[in-house]
Structure 1
Protein backbone atom coordinates (compact mmCIF):
# COMPACT_ATOMS: atom_id res chain seq x y z
CA UNK A 1 0.00 0.00 0.00
CA UNK A 2 1.28 3.42 -0.94
CA UNK A 3 1.74 6.09 1.71
CA UNK A 4 -0.66 8.98 1.09
CA UNK A 5 1.13 12.04 -0.22
CA UNK A 6 0.26 15.11 1.91
CA UNK A 7 -0.96 18.10 -0.05
CA UNK A 8 0.93 21.32 0.77
CA UNK A 9 -1.10 23.95 2.62
CA UNK A 10 -4.26 21.81 2.54
CA UNK A 11 -4.40 21.54 6.33
CA UNK A 12 -2.36 22.18 9.44
CA UNK A 13 -0.25 19.38 10.88
CA UNK A 14 2.30 19.10 13.71
CA UNK A 15 5.77 20.45 12.93
CA UNK A 16 8.43 17.70 13.02
CA UNK A 17 10.94 17.88 15.86
CA UNK A 18 14.00 20.08 15.39
CA UNK A 19 17.14 18.10 14.79
CA UNK A 20 20.70 19.32 14.46
CA UNK A 21 22.63 17.90 11.52
CA UNK A 22 26.30 17.19 10.97
CA UNK A 23 27.78 16.05 7.67
CA UNK A 24 31.26 15.57 6.24
CA UNK A 25 32.65 14.85 2.79
CA UNK A 26 36.19 13.80 1.96
CA UNK A 27 38.24 15.94 -0.40
CA UNK A 28 39.22 14.24 -3.70
CA UNK A 29 37.41 11.00 -2.84
CA UNK A 30 36.36 10.37 -6.44
CA UNK A 31 39.98 10.75 -7.53
CA UNK A 32 41.08 7.77 -5.42
CA UNK A 33 41.66 4.39 -7.04
CA UNK A 34 38.50 2.28 -6.85
CA UNK A 35 40.18 -0.25 -4.57
CA UNK A 36 40.53 2.45 -1.87
CA UNK A 37 36.91 3.67 -1.93
CA UNK A 38 35.60 0.98 0.42
CA UNK A 39 38.34 1.30 3.07
CA UNK A 40 38.14 5.12 3.08
CA UNK A 41 34.34 4.99 3.25
CA UNK A 42 34.59 2.80 6.37
CA UNK A 43 37.40 4.84 7.88
CA UNK A 44 35.66 8.24 7.89
CA UNK A 45 32.88 7.30 10.39
CA UNK A 46 35.51 5.64 12.58
CA UNK A 47 37.54 8.87 12.71
CA UNK A 48 34.41 10.95 13.38
CA UNK A 49 33.41 8.64 16.25
CA UNK A 50 36.94 8.78 17.65
CA UNK A 51 36.77 12.58 17.66
CA UNK A 52 33.31 12.57 19.29
CA UNK A 53 34.68 10.39 22.09
CA UNK A 54 37.77 12.54 22.62
CA UNK A 55 35.59 15.65 22.70
CA UNK A 56 33.51 14.13 25.48
CA UNK A 57 30.45 13.68 23.25
CA UNK A 58 29.83 10.04 24.18
CA UNK A 59 26.09 10.70 24.30
CA UNK A 60 26.04 11.98 20.73
CA UNK A 61 28.24 9.16 19.46
CA UNK A 62 25.80 6.60 20.83
CA UNK A 63 22.53 8.35 19.95
CA UNK A 64 22.88 9.53 16.35
CA UNK A 65 19.59 9.92 14.53
CA UNK A 66 19.10 8.58 10.98
CA UNK A 67 22.87 8.15 10.39
CA UNK A 68 23.97 7.45 6.82
CA UNK A 69 27.25 6.66 5.11
CA UNK A 70 27.34 8.71 1.90
CA UNK A 71 30.35 6.89 0.47
CA UNK A 72 32.70 9.84 0.71
CA UNK A 73 31.42 10.94 4.10
CA UNK A 74 28.75 10.63 6.76
CA UNK A 75 25.65 12.52 7.86
CA UNK A 76 23.57 12.19 11.01
CA UNK A 77 21.07 14.05 13.13
CA UNK A 78 21.34 14.73 16.84
CA UNK A 79 19.82 16.61 19.75
CA UNK A 80 20.15 20.38 19.09
CA UNK A 81 21.09 20.86 22.75
CA UNK A 82 24.51 19.43 21.82
CA UNK A 83 25.14 21.93 19.00
CA UNK A 84 27.41 24.17 21.13
CA UNK A 85 29.71 21.23 21.88
CA UNK A 86 29.84 20.13 18.25
CA UNK A 87 31.02 23.59 17.22
CA UNK A 88 33.53 23.71 20.09
CA UNK A 89 35.46 21.62 20.92
CA UNK A 90 34.43 18.81 18.53
CA UNK A 91 35.38 20.46 15.22
CA UNK A 92 38.85 21.25 16.56
CA UNK A 93 39.26 17.77 17.99
CA UNK A 94 38.21 16.26 14.65
CA UNK A 95 40.91 18.35 12.97
CA UNK A 96 43.44 17.00 15.47
CA UNK A 97 42.33 13.38 14.98
CA UNK A 98 42.63 13.72 11.21
CA UNK A 99 46.01 15.40 11.56
CA UNK A 100 47.32 12.57 13.73
CA UNK A 101 46.00 10.00 11.27
CA UNK A 102 47.41 11.81 8.23
CA UNK A 103 50.87 12.07 9.77
CA UNK A 104 51.17 8.32 10.24
CA UNK A 105 49.04 6.92 7.42
CA UNK A 106 50.49 5.10 4.44
CA UNK A 107 47.32 5.50 2.36
CA UNK A 108 45.49 8.60 1.13
CA UNK A 109 45.18 11.62 3.40
CA UNK A 110 41.71 12.22 4.83
CA UNK A 111 40.74 15.90 4.69
CA UNK A 112 37.12 16.80 5.31
CA UNK A 113 34.60 19.48 4.56
CA UNK A 114 32.02 19.67 7.36
CA UNK A 115 28.63 21.35 7.61
CA UNK A 116 26.45 22.03 10.66
CA UNK A 117 22.76 22.93 10.40
CA UNK A 118 19.48 22.60 12.29
CA UNK A 119 15.81 22.41 11.33
CA UNK A 120 12.56 20.41 11.54
CA UNK A 121 12.87 16.83 10.29
CA UNK A 122 10.70 13.73 10.71
CA UNK A 123 12.17 11.43 13.36
CA UNK A 124 9.76 8.71 14.39
CA UNK A 125 11.86 5.58 13.75
CA UNK A 126 10.12 5.23 10.41
CA UNK A 127 11.30 4.96 6.79
CA UNK A 128 12.03 8.40 5.42
CA UNK A 129 13.18 9.83 8.76
CA UNK A 130 15.66 12.67 8.43
CA UNK A 131 14.52 13.74 4.97
CA UNK A 132 13.46 17.32 4.44
CA UNK A 133 14.65 20.80 3.56
CA UNK A 134 17.07 20.98 6.50
CA UNK A 135 18.76 17.76 5.33
CA UNK A 136 18.98 19.03 1.75
CA UNK A 137 20.45 22.35 2.87
CA UNK A 138 23.05 20.56 5.01
CA UNK A 139 24.37 18.82 1.91
CA UNK A 140 24.18 22.00 -0.17
CA UNK A 141 26.27 23.83 2.42
CA UNK A 142 28.76 20.98 2.27
CA UNK A 143 29.00 21.32 -1.52
CA UNK A 144 29.11 25.12 -1.58
CA UNK A 145 31.86 27.03 -3.33
CA UNK A 146 33.55 28.76 -0.34
CA UNK A 147 34.15 25.63 1.75
CA UNK A 148 35.51 23.74 -1.27
CA UNK A 149 37.75 26.64 -2.27
CA UNK A 150 39.31 27.12 1.15
CA UNK A 151 40.03 23.41 1.69
CA UNK A 152 41.56 23.22 -1.81
CA UNK A 153 43.75 26.27 -1.21
CA UNK A 154 44.95 25.37 2.28
CA UNK A 155 47.99 23.34 3.27
CA UNK A 156 47.35 19.59 3.41
CA UNK A 157 49.99 19.39 6.14
CA UNK A 158 48.15 21.77 8.47
CA UNK A 159 44.46 22.15 7.58
CA UNK A 160 42.47 18.92 7.82
CA UNK A 161 38.94 20.27 8.38
CA UNK A 162 37.08 23.26 6.98
CA UNK A 163 33.59 23.72 8.45
CA UNK A 164 30.64 25.71 7.20
CA UNK A 165 27.99 26.70 9.74
CA UNK A 166 24.46 27.68 8.75
CA UNK A 167 23.11 31.10 9.65
CA UNK A 168 20.54 29.57 12.01
CA UNK A 169 23.20 27.65 13.95
CA UNK A 170 25.48 30.67 13.99
CA UNK A 171 22.80 32.96 15.40
CA UNK A 172 21.51 30.51 18.00
CA UNK A 173 24.75 28.94 19.26
CA UNK A 174 27.59 31.32 18.35
CA UNK A 175 26.03 34.78 18.62
CA UNK A 176 23.96 33.50 21.53
CA UNK A 177 27.28 32.67 23.27
CA UNK A 178 26.27 29.11 24.13
CA UNK A 179 29.42 27.71 22.52
CA UNK A 180 33.13 28.22 23.13
CA UNK A 181 33.49 29.15 19.45
CA UNK A 182 33.85 32.95 19.38
CA UNK A 183 32.17 34.88 16.54
CA UNK A 184 35.55 36.39 15.60
CA UNK A 185 36.72 32.92 14.59
CA UNK A 186 34.02 32.72 11.91
CA UNK A 187 33.89 34.43 8.53
CA UNK A 188 30.68 35.21 6.69
CA UNK A 189 30.33 33.68 3.21
CA UNK A 190 27.60 33.46 0.58
CA UNK A 191 27.09 29.70 0.24
CA UNK A 192 26.26 28.92 -3.39
CA UNK A 193 26.41 25.67 -5.34
CA UNK A 194 27.31 25.64 -9.00
CA UNK A 195 24.37 24.69 -11.23
CA UNK A 196 21.71 25.17 -8.53
CA UNK A 197 19.59 28.02 -7.22
CA UNK A 198 20.86 27.40 -3.70
CA UNK A 199 22.16 30.55 -2.00
CA UNK A 200 22.36 31.12 1.74
CA UNK A 201 24.31 33.19 4.18
CA UNK A 202 26.70 30.98 6.15
CA UNK A 203 29.89 31.09 8.20
CA UNK A 204 33.27 29.41 7.70
CA UNK A 205 35.36 28.12 10.57
CA UNK A 206 38.85 26.66 10.05
CA UNK A 207 40.23 25.06 13.23
CA UNK A 208 43.84 25.03 11.92
CA UNK A 209 44.36 27.78 9.33
CA UNK A 210 47.31 27.76 6.96
CA UNK A 211 48.80 29.77 4.13
CA UNK A 212 49.01 33.42 3.29
CA UNK A 213 46.53 34.70 5.87
CA UNK A 214 48.85 33.45 8.58
CA UNK A 215 51.66 35.46 7.02
CA UNK A 216 49.32 38.44 6.92
CA UNK A 217 48.87 38.22 10.68
CA UNK A 218 45.71 36.14 11.09
CA UNK A 219 46.46 33.96 14.11
CA UNK A 220 45.82 30.26 14.51
CA UNK A 221 43.83 28.75 17.34
CA UNK A 222 44.70 29.69 20.86
CA UNK A 223 45.63 27.02 23.36
CA UNK A 224 42.60 24.81 23.83
CA UNK A 225 40.78 25.12 27.14
CA UNK A 226 38.94 21.94 28.01
CA UNK A 227 35.18 22.30 27.75
CA UNK A 228 32.64 20.77 30.12
CA UNK A 229 31.89 17.17 29.20
CA UNK A 230 28.48 17.05 27.51
CA UNK A 231 28.13 13.44 28.75
CA UNK A 232 28.14 14.16 32.46
CA UNK A 233 28.86 11.22 34.71
CA UNK A 234 31.00 9.30 32.24
CA UNK A 235 34.63 8.73 33.03
CA UNK A 236 37.25 10.05 30.66
CA UNK A 237 40.05 7.89 29.41
CA UNK A 238 43.22 9.24 31.05
CA UNK A 239 45.26 7.70 28.25
CA UNK A 240 43.40 9.56 25.51
CA UNK A 241 45.65 12.16 23.90
CA UNK A 242 44.68 15.74 24.52
CA UNK A 243 43.83 18.03 21.64
CA UNK A 244 46.76 20.07 20.39
CA UNK A 245 46.23 23.74 19.66
CA UNK A 246 48.49 26.38 18.21
CA UNK A 247 49.15 29.86 19.51
CA UNK A 248 50.93 32.89 18.22
CA UNK A 249 51.69 33.90 14.65
CA UNK A 250 54.99 32.12 14.06
CA UNK A 251 53.68 29.25 11.96
CA UNK A 252 54.74 29.40 8.30
CA UNK A 253 53.51 27.15 5.52
CA UNK A 254 53.61 27.13 1.74
CA UNK A 255 50.94 28.18 -0.69
CA UNK A 256 47.39 28.09 0.58
CA UNK A 257 44.83 30.10 2.41
CA UNK A 258 42.55 29.78 5.40
CA UNK A 259 40.04 32.04 7.08
CA UNK A 260 39.94 32.63 10.79
CA UNK A 261 40.09 35.50 13.26
CA UNK A 262 39.44 39.16 12.47
CA UNK A 263 39.32 39.08 8.70
CA UNK A 264 37.75 42.13 7.13
CA UNK A 265 36.49 43.01 3.71
CA UNK A 266 36.76 40.82 0.63
CA UNK A 267 39.24 37.97 0.61
CA UNK A 268 40.95 37.06 -2.65
CA UNK A 269 43.40 34.20 -2.97
CA UNK A 270 45.66 34.58 -6.02
CA UNK A 271 48.52 32.19 -5.36
CA UNK A 272 51.32 34.27 -3.89
CA UNK A 273 49.54 37.20 -2.32
CA UNK A 274 46.59 37.75 -0.05
CA UNK A 275 44.57 40.91 0.26
CA UNK A 276 41.94 41.87 2.75
CA UNK A 277 40.55 45.21 3.88
CA UNK A 278 37.61 46.87 5.53
CA UNK A 279 36.15 46.39 8.97
CA UNK A 280 33.42 43.78 8.60
CA UNK A 281 33.84 40.04 8.27
CA UNK A 282 32.74 39.14 4.77
CA UNK A 283 33.55 36.87 1.86
CA UNK A 284 33.56 38.57 -1.50
CA UNK A 285 31.46 37.73 -4.48
CA UNK A 286 33.58 34.81 -5.67
CA UNK A 287 36.18 32.33 -4.52
CA UNK A 288 39.29 33.04 -6.58
CA UNK A 289 41.65 30.14 -6.08
CA UNK A 290 44.70 29.71 -8.27
CA UNK A 291 46.61 26.48 -8.79
CA UNK A 292 45.55 23.04 -9.96
CA UNK A 293 42.12 23.22 -8.36
CA UNK A 294 39.29 25.10 -10.04
CA UNK A 295 36.10 25.22 -8.02
CA UNK A 296 32.89 25.27 -10.02
CA UNK A 297 34.31 24.07 -13.34
CA UNK A 298 33.17 20.90 -15.02
CA UNK A 299 34.98 17.87 -13.71
CA UNK A 300 35.56 19.45 -10.30
CA UNK A 301 36.72 16.78 -7.90
CA UNK A 302 35.46 16.79 -4.38
Structure 2
Protein backbone atom coordinates (compact mmCIF):
# COMPACT_ATOMS: atom_id res chain seq x y z
CA UNK A 1 0.00 0.00 0.00
CA UNK A 2 1.41 3.32 -1.03
CA UNK A 3 0.91 6.42 1.13
CA UNK A 4 1.35 9.12 -1.48
CA UNK A 5 -1.66 11.22 -0.44
CA UNK A 6 -0.90 14.73 0.79
CA UNK A 7 -1.11 15.47 4.48
CA UNK A 8 -4.63 16.45 5.46
CA UNK A 9 -5.12 19.98 6.78
CA UNK A 10 -5.81 20.71 10.42
CA UNK A 11 -9.54 21.15 10.90
CA UNK A 12 -9.75 22.14 14.56
CA UNK A 13 -7.92 24.50 16.87
CA UNK A 14 -8.58 22.13 19.80
CA UNK A 15 -10.37 24.69 22.00
CA UNK A 16 -10.77 24.44 25.78
CA UNK A 17 -7.94 21.93 26.28
CA UNK A 18 -4.95 24.17 26.93
CA UNK A 19 -4.46 27.86 27.53
CA UNK A 20 -2.97 30.13 24.88
CA UNK A 21 -2.49 33.91 24.61
CA UNK A 22 -5.32 35.95 23.15
CA UNK A 23 -4.76 37.50 19.73
CA UNK A 24 -4.17 41.26 19.85
CA UNK A 25 -7.21 43.46 20.20
CA UNK A 26 -8.14 45.25 16.98
CA UNK A 27 -10.43 48.03 15.98
CA UNK A 28 -12.78 46.67 13.31
CA UNK A 29 -14.37 48.85 10.64
CA UNK A 30 -16.85 47.38 8.19
CA UNK A 31 -19.21 48.99 5.67
CA UNK A 32 -22.08 47.73 3.54
CA UNK A 33 -23.73 49.53 0.66
CA UNK A 34 -27.50 50.00 0.74
CA UNK A 35 -29.39 48.47 -2.16
CA UNK A 36 -26.35 46.98 -3.89
CA UNK A 37 -28.04 43.79 -5.09
CA UNK A 38 -30.89 45.78 -6.65
CA UNK A 39 -28.48 47.71 -8.88
CA UNK A 40 -28.03 46.63 -12.51
CA UNK A 41 -25.30 44.01 -12.79
CA UNK A 42 -23.18 46.31 -14.94
CA UNK A 43 -22.73 48.63 -11.92
CA UNK A 44 -21.57 46.01 -9.41
CA UNK A 45 -17.88 45.94 -10.28
CA UNK A 46 -17.68 49.73 -10.58
CA UNK A 47 -19.24 50.21 -7.15
CA UNK A 48 -17.12 47.48 -5.55
CA UNK A 49 -13.96 49.17 -6.83
CA UNK A 50 -15.14 52.63 -5.76
CA UNK A 51 -15.80 51.65 -2.14
CA UNK A 52 -12.16 51.21 -1.00
CA UNK A 53 -11.26 54.51 -2.66
CA UNK A 54 -14.09 56.26 -0.80
CA UNK A 55 -12.83 54.85 2.48
CA UNK A 56 -9.26 55.87 1.72
CA UNK A 57 -10.29 59.40 0.70
CA UNK A 58 -12.54 59.95 3.72
CA UNK A 59 -9.93 58.62 6.17
CA UNK A 60 -7.27 60.88 4.68
CA UNK A 61 -9.59 63.90 4.84
CA UNK A 62 -10.25 63.09 8.52
CA UNK A 63 -6.52 62.99 9.26
CA UNK A 64 -6.56 59.20 9.64
CA UNK A 65 -4.41 58.09 6.72
CA UNK A 66 -2.61 55.73 9.14
CA UNK A 67 -5.82 53.69 9.53
CA UNK A 68 -5.88 53.05 5.78
CA UNK A 69 -2.14 52.69 5.23
CA UNK A 70 -1.77 50.29 8.15
CA UNK A 71 -4.99 48.37 7.59
CA UNK A 72 -5.08 44.74 8.72
CA UNK A 73 -6.81 41.80 7.00
CA UNK A 74 -8.54 44.07 4.43
CA UNK A 75 -11.21 42.33 2.40
CA UNK A 76 -13.99 43.21 0.01
CA UNK A 77 -17.39 41.57 0.36
CA UNK A 78 -18.66 42.79 -2.99
CA UNK A 79 -21.17 45.20 -1.52
CA UNK A 80 -18.90 46.08 1.40
CA UNK A 81 -15.44 46.25 2.86
CA UNK A 82 -13.80 45.38 6.18
CA UNK A 83 -10.46 46.18 7.76
CA UNK A 84 -8.74 46.06 11.11
CA UNK A 85 -6.79 48.89 12.71
CA UNK A 86 -5.10 50.04 15.88
CA UNK A 87 -7.94 50.17 18.46
CA UNK A 88 -6.43 53.21 20.16
CA UNK A 89 -7.64 55.19 17.13
CA UNK A 90 -11.28 54.17 17.57
CA UNK A 91 -12.35 57.51 19.17
CA UNK A 92 -11.06 59.35 16.08
CA UNK A 93 -12.78 56.92 13.74
CA UNK A 94 -16.06 57.64 15.53
CA UNK A 95 -15.40 61.37 15.29
CA UNK A 96 -14.47 63.02 13.03
CA UNK A 97 -14.34 60.19 10.47
CA UNK A 98 -18.05 59.28 10.44
CA UNK A 99 -18.93 62.93 9.75
CA UNK A 100 -16.21 63.16 7.11
CA UNK A 101 -17.53 60.02 5.39
CA UNK A 102 -21.01 61.59 5.35
CA UNK A 103 -19.58 64.74 3.74
CA UNK A 104 -17.59 62.80 1.13
CA UNK A 105 -20.64 60.78 0.09
CA UNK A 106 -22.79 63.92 -0.05
CA UNK A 107 -20.21 65.62 -2.25
CA UNK A 108 -20.05 62.57 -4.50
CA UNK A 109 -23.82 62.63 -4.89
CA UNK A 110 -23.80 66.33 -5.71
CA UNK A 111 -21.00 66.33 -8.27
CA UNK A 112 -20.67 62.84 -9.73
CA UNK A 113 -23.58 63.18 -12.13
CA UNK A 114 -24.75 60.01 -13.79
CA UNK A 115 -23.40 57.67 -11.15
CA UNK A 116 -25.35 55.66 -8.63
CA UNK A 117 -25.97 57.20 -5.21
CA UNK A 118 -23.92 55.49 -2.50
CA UNK A 119 -25.26 55.21 1.04
CA UNK A 120 -23.42 53.19 3.65
CA UNK A 121 -24.07 51.31 6.85
CA UNK A 122 -20.97 51.35 9.07
CA UNK A 123 -20.17 48.84 11.79
CA UNK A 124 -17.54 49.53 14.47
CA UNK A 125 -16.32 46.99 16.99
CA UNK A 126 -13.31 46.12 19.16
CA UNK A 127 -12.12 42.60 19.84
CA UNK A 128 -9.29 40.06 19.65
CA UNK A 129 -8.47 38.89 16.12
CA UNK A 130 -5.41 37.18 14.64
CA UNK A 131 -3.60 38.70 11.67
CA UNK A 132 -1.87 35.96 9.68
CA UNK A 133 -1.14 38.32 6.78
CA UNK A 134 -2.93 36.06 4.33
CA UNK A 135 -6.45 35.53 3.01
CA UNK A 136 -7.49 33.80 6.25
CA UNK A 137 -6.39 36.51 8.67
CA UNK A 138 -8.80 38.39 10.87
CA UNK A 139 -11.26 35.56 11.36
CA UNK A 140 -12.98 35.27 14.72
CA UNK A 141 -16.10 36.07 16.69
CA UNK A 142 -15.38 39.82 16.78
CA UNK A 143 -15.35 39.94 12.97
CA UNK A 144 -18.52 37.86 12.67
CA UNK A 145 -20.29 40.08 15.19
CA UNK A 146 -19.29 43.18 13.22
CA UNK A 147 -20.99 41.79 10.11
CA UNK A 148 -24.06 40.92 12.16
CA UNK A 149 -24.21 44.48 13.50
CA UNK A 150 -24.14 45.76 9.91
CA UNK A 151 -27.07 43.50 9.03
CA UNK A 152 -29.10 44.35 12.14
CA UNK A 153 -32.58 45.75 11.83
CA UNK A 154 -32.08 49.15 13.56
CA UNK A 155 -29.27 50.38 11.29
CA UNK A 156 -31.05 49.10 8.18
CA UNK A 157 -34.19 50.94 9.25
CA UNK A 158 -32.36 54.27 9.47
CA UNK A 159 -31.31 54.30 5.81
CA UNK A 160 -34.73 53.00 4.79
CA UNK A 161 -36.62 55.71 6.73
CA UNK A 162 -34.33 58.71 6.21
CA UNK A 163 -33.99 60.83 3.08
CA UNK A 164 -31.63 59.48 0.45
CA UNK A 165 -30.77 63.10 -0.37
CA UNK A 166 -29.59 63.92 3.17
CA UNK A 167 -28.57 60.83 5.15
CA UNK A 168 -25.72 58.91 3.53
CA UNK A 169 -24.26 57.23 6.63
CA UNK A 170 -25.78 55.26 9.49
CA UNK A 171 -23.34 53.77 11.99
CA UNK A 172 -23.83 51.04 14.57
CA UNK A 173 -21.33 50.57 17.40
CA UNK A 174 -20.94 47.48 19.52
CA UNK A 175 -21.50 47.99 23.23
CA UNK A 176 -17.79 47.42 23.88
CA UNK A 177 -16.85 50.04 21.30
CA UNK A 178 -19.34 52.54 22.75
CA UNK A 179 -18.22 51.91 26.33
CA UNK A 180 -14.49 52.05 25.63
CA UNK A 181 -14.42 54.97 23.19
CA UNK A 182 -17.52 57.10 23.93
CA UNK A 183 -18.53 56.67 27.57
CA UNK A 184 -14.86 57.01 28.50
CA UNK A 185 -14.88 60.54 27.10
CA UNK A 186 -12.19 59.96 24.46
CA UNK A 187 -14.49 60.37 21.44
CA UNK A 188 -15.47 63.91 20.52
CA UNK A 189 -19.18 63.22 20.80
CA UNK A 190 -21.38 63.16 23.91
CA UNK A 191 -22.94 59.80 24.81
CA UNK A 192 -26.40 61.37 24.37
CA UNK A 193 -25.72 61.58 20.63
CA UNK A 194 -25.91 57.78 20.48
CA UNK A 195 -29.08 55.71 20.71
CA UNK A 196 -29.20 52.35 22.42
CA UNK A 197 -30.85 49.67 20.28
CA UNK A 198 -31.33 45.90 20.38
CA UNK A 199 -29.30 44.66 17.41
CA UNK A 200 -31.07 41.65 15.94
CA UNK A 201 -30.74 40.04 12.52
CA UNK A 202 -33.64 38.37 10.74
CA UNK A 203 -33.07 34.65 10.50
CA UNK A 204 -29.89 34.68 12.60
CA UNK A 205 -29.39 33.73 16.28
CA UNK A 206 -27.90 37.14 17.05
CA UNK A 207 -29.04 39.69 19.62
CA UNK A 208 -26.75 42.24 21.21
CA UNK A 209 -26.94 45.64 22.82
CA UNK A 210 -25.64 48.22 20.34
CA UNK A 211 -25.60 51.98 19.72
CA UNK A 212 -26.73 53.94 16.66
CA UNK A 213 -25.05 57.11 15.48
CA UNK A 214 -26.31 59.08 12.46
CA UNK A 215 -24.16 62.09 11.46
CA UNK A 216 -26.94 63.72 9.40
CA UNK A 217 -30.37 62.39 10.38
CA UNK A 218 -33.42 63.27 8.29
CA UNK A 219 -36.11 61.08 9.79
CA UNK A 220 -37.24 59.31 12.96
CA UNK A 221 -34.66 57.68 15.20
CA UNK A 222 -35.51 54.61 17.29
CA UNK A 223 -36.45 55.40 20.87
CA UNK A 224 -36.40 59.18 20.42
CA UNK A 225 -39.59 61.13 21.28
CA UNK A 226 -40.33 64.86 21.22
CA UNK A 227 -42.08 66.88 23.93
CA UNK A 228 -45.19 66.92 21.70
CA UNK A 229 -45.11 63.11 21.50
CA UNK A 230 -44.90 62.86 25.27
CA UNK A 231 -47.74 65.34 25.76
CA UNK A 232 -50.01 63.22 23.55
CA UNK A 233 -49.18 59.98 25.32
CA UNK A 234 -52.12 58.46 27.20
CA UNK A 235 -52.34 59.28 30.89
CA UNK A 236 -52.04 55.58 31.64
CA UNK A 237 -48.38 55.84 30.70
CA UNK A 238 -47.97 58.40 33.51
CA UNK A 239 -49.80 57.17 36.63
CA UNK A 240 -48.88 60.34 38.55
CA UNK A 241 -51.34 62.31 36.38
CA UNK A 242 -55.05 62.00 37.28
CA UNK A 243 -57.84 62.30 34.71
CA UNK A 244 -60.77 64.34 35.99
CA UNK A 245 -64.21 64.96 34.50
CA UNK A 246 -67.94 64.38 34.90
CA UNK A 247 -69.52 61.07 33.96
CA UNK A 248 -73.20 60.22 33.90
CA UNK A 249 -74.84 56.81 33.78
CA UNK A 250 -78.62 57.07 34.10
CA UNK A 251 -80.21 54.19 36.01
CA UNK A 252 -76.76 52.87 36.84
CA UNK A 253 -73.63 53.32 38.93
CA UNK A 254 -70.85 55.83 38.38
CA UNK A 255 -67.30 55.48 39.72
CA UNK A 256 -65.74 58.82 40.58
CA UNK A 257 -62.32 59.81 41.80
CA UNK A 258 -58.81 58.44 41.33
CA UNK A 259 -58.76 54.84 42.51
CA UNK A 260 -56.12 54.41 45.19
CA UNK A 261 -57.40 51.64 47.38
CA UNK A 262 -61.12 52.60 47.31
CA UNK A 263 -64.04 53.79 45.16
CA UNK A 264 -67.01 56.14 45.60
CA UNK A 265 -70.21 54.66 44.14
CA UNK A 266 -73.30 56.81 43.48
CA UNK A 267 -76.70 55.63 42.27
CA UNK A 268 -78.33 58.43 40.25
CA UNK A 269 -81.60 56.55 39.58
CA UNK A 270 -83.97 57.84 42.29
CA UNK A 271 -86.81 55.69 41.00
CA UNK A 272 -84.80 52.63 42.00
CA UNK A 273 -84.61 53.70 45.66
CA UNK A 274 -86.64 51.45 47.99
CA UNK A 275 -89.82 52.91 49.55
CA UNK A 276 -89.61 53.48 53.32
CA UNK A 277 -91.40 50.90 55.45
CA UNK A 278 -94.57 51.91 57.27
CA UNK A 279 -93.91 53.49 60.57
CA UNK A 280 -90.51 54.87 59.53
CA UNK A 281 -89.55 58.30 58.27
CA UNK A 282 -88.77 58.63 54.62
Whether the 8 Å CA contact 2:196–2:210 is kept in 1: the answer is yes
> 1:176-187 counterparts in 2 under 5 A?
176-187=184-195
Alignment partner of 1:163: what SS?
Answer: strand
Larger relative contact order, structure 1 or 2 (CA cutoff 8 Å, min sep 6): 1
Q: Does 1:137 align with 2:133?
A: no
- Compute the displacement of 1:264 (Å): 4.5
- 1:1-302 map, 5 Å: 1=7, 2-3=9-10, 5-105=12-112, 106-211=114-219, 257-258=220-221, 264=224, 275=229
Shift >4 Å, 4+ stretches: 274-277
Q: Secondary structure at the match of 1:82?
A: helix
Q: 1:102-129: per-residue Cα shift (whole Å, max 9, x none)?
A: 1122121000000000101111324521
Alpha-carbon distance between aligned partners in 2 of 1:128 and 1:43, rounded to the nearest angstrom: 24
- Structure 2: stretches of 5+ with no match in the other structure: 1-6, 232-282
Deviation of 1:22 after TM superposition, in Å, equals 0.4
Is the 2:73–2:134 Cα contact (8 Å) retained in structure 1?
no
Structure 2 SS opposite 1:119: strand
Unaligned runs of 5+ in 1: 212-256, 268-273, 278-302
For normalisation by structure 2, the TM-score amounts to 0.75
Residue 275 to residue 138, structure 1, CA distance change in 2 (3 Å): farther
Alpha-carbon distance in 2 for matches of 1:53, 1:264? 33
Give distance in 2, aligned partners of 1:82 and 1:40.
27
After superposition, give the CA deviation of every residue in 1:1-37 in whole Å (9 maximum; x if it has no partner).
4136221201111111111100010100000000000
Rounded Cα–Cα distance in structure 2 between residues aligned with 1:264 and 1:169: 22
Structure (1 or 2) with the greater helix fraction:
2
Structure 1 stretch displaced more, 11-20 or 119-128: 119-128
